[in-house]
Structure 1
Amino acid sequence: MAELMTVASPGEWGSVPGAGLGPRLEAPLLLVEDNAALRQMLSWELSELGYQVCAASGCVQARALIDRQPLLRFALIDIRLPDGDGRALGAELAARAPGLAIVLMSGAHGLEPDPGLAPHVRAFLRKPVNLNSIHQLFAATDEHPRQCASSR
């Protein structure tokens, strides 16, 4: 059973992107978010922190991206996607890249994290997500990127 990490609360480090967040993480990150405005904002802010962001609007696009960018260290995935379930996508990614740090997020009211979250899920965040929380979770990950196995 995965243990949910406690992360900073909104506003704990101020509003300047990257302020007090520690070292830049120059690592590939897959962002899967169907809301175009939120996807663009998170992509920009995470890029400012040094992440190499590959953004997808859903499961199909995410799978295509990981086929082209097999070295992933982090994944930030919305649970409710128009073409599938983010939890299932996370499990698929974890099978392809053991050690991948996955954070799930959702803005759905009444959706609670499963207390028995799969071991590949580091945390569940409620939207609106806090950039500081995301960075803190990923900065705590000390594993190295893994080569994804081919799904074909």
Structure 2
Amino acid sequence: MIPTASSAGDCSAVPGAGLGQRLEAALLLVEDNAPLRQMLSWELSDLGYQVSAAGDCAEARHLMQRQPLRCALIDIRLPDGDGRALGAELAARAPGLTIVLMSGAHDLQPDPGLAPHVRAYLKKPVNLHSLHQLFVASGKPARAAFNNGSRVP
């Protein structure tokens, strides 16, 4: 069973305040809504993530090749493809990558076939505390990720 979350929660007026452990990890954010992408980038950066943000699948693929990643937060509905398929592709390229999918479509159901590489499905608005805890709990070291098919030292 893949966890889901639907409540926005209250995470304080200060981004990252009270969320506990900082996670110094490279994170790929794929969100086509530019203002939401910017807001999530700022908030995740405040938590210690090194955020690479993309607005579509093509840009995400390009960013994935540039640096090893530990985490990915991917919108399901993207202008040039499906975030679930992108997640599967990224997981094949980087088996240690912790992937969380998100969607604003409240009627969307998780696909149990994706369970091996998807940590959770979140409904927008994303609860930053829940998201951060998912990544912290993943416990996979950054060196478990792959970049362009070669092992990261």
Question: TM-score scaled to structure 1, two decimals?
Answer: 0.89
Please state whether the residue corresponding to 1:103 is helix, strand or coil.
strand
Correspondent of 1:140 among 133, 137, 140:
137
1:8–1:132 CA contact under 8 A, matched in 2: no
What percentage of residue pairs aligned between the two structures are identical?
72
Correspondent of 1:84 among 46, 61, 81:
81
Q: Structure 2: state its 5+ residue gaps.
A: none
Q: Structure 1: state its 5+ residue gaps.
A: none
1:8–1:133 CA contact under 8 A, matched in 2: no
User: Over residues 37-95 of structure 1, what are the superposed CA-to-partner deviations in whole Å (9 max), with x where a residue is unaligned?
Assistant: 000000000000000000000000000111111x1000000000000000000000000
C-alpha displacement of 1:149: 3.5
Matching residue of 1:129:
126
**Which consecutive aligned stretches of 4+ in structure 1 deviate over 4 angstroms post-superposition?**
6-9
User: Over residues 114-149 of structure 1, what are the superposed CA-to-partner deviations in whole Å (9 max), with x where a residue is unaligned?
Assistant: 234331000000011111111011010111121223
C-alpha displacement of 1:13: 4.9
**Would you tell me which structure has more helix in proportion to its own residues?**
2
Counterpart of 1:40, as a letter, is Q
**Change beyond 3 A, Cα 1:56–1:40:** same
1:34–1:82 CA contact under 8 A, matched in 2: yes
**Change beyond 3 A, Cα 1:86–1:140:** same
